[in-house]
Amino acid sequence: MARPFLTARWESLLLLNYACPADVLEPLVPAGTTLDRWQGESLVSVVGFLFRDARLLGMPVPFHRHFEEVNLRFYVARETPDGETRRAVAFVRELVPRWAIATVARVVYNEPYRAVPMSHRVALDASTGGSVAYEWQHEGTPYALRGTASGPAALADPDSEAAFITEHYWGYTRQRDGGTLEYEVVHPSWALWDLDEAAFEGPPGPLYGDVFADVLAAPPRSAFLAVGSEVAVDKGRRIEV
């Protein structure tokens, strides 16, 4: 990867995962990619985490280095012309508390970012667990993502659902003209917990659209908490479709 466009540390990643009908996701799949399924099921994840020391092209942006993000994502894959399979994520919506961050992401990647009031509460230790909560408001309605874990975090089995959820190292996003931008996300495998308790609170329809209301109103099929790591994200390139 060339010099990263964005570097940061992602910490305390809370991932709640739901089965989702493929016909809900197919209209959102970026051109040139296909849904990447786990044991035949298409999944979506609501993910909350902390950005630490965010830098653009190596330069810190004053007042925009540390902040929360909550996103709704799903999983796609692309086979390159030389036969490599690139497993990736695509986003339905991404929330941050900084207007400038949301604007840069929309302009550079055409990612569906929105700026909303956000806060977090994290009391977590890699050896003993703890609790994580991300809270935000959308059009005056409160939302929250919460989870608790116990014991030490550990690397996931490579063939597990936890590995499927966390080890997608590419991103694809639809462009305004119908094309697709591909970008690489570099980070090591994360130590994880299976959560003792996890919850998404708030009405999902107004935030993510009616097609996701029933999906996200159900209990998550799985929930994980990751310690996190340094990450690097490249600016990306358009792919030939």
1: pLDDT strictly greater than 60: no
> Hey, which residues does 43 pair with through a beta bridge?
19
Rounded to two decimals, the pTM is 0.94
pLDDT tops 80 at residue 239: yes
Q: Which domains does the chain have, with CATH numbers?
A: 6-238 (2.40.400.10)
What are 153-212's pLDDT values in tens digits? 999 999 999 999 999 999 999 998 999 999 999 999 999 999 989 999 999 999 999 999
Contacts of 110 (CB under 8 A, 6+ apart): 173, 174, 175, 176, 181
Task: Please write the tens of the pLDDT for every residue from 10-45.
Answer: 999 999 999 999 999 999 999 999 999 999 999 999
- Joined tokens for residue 227: 């310690």
* Position 98 confidence tier, pLDDT thresholds 50, 70, 90: confident
Give me the pLDDT at residue 115, please. 92
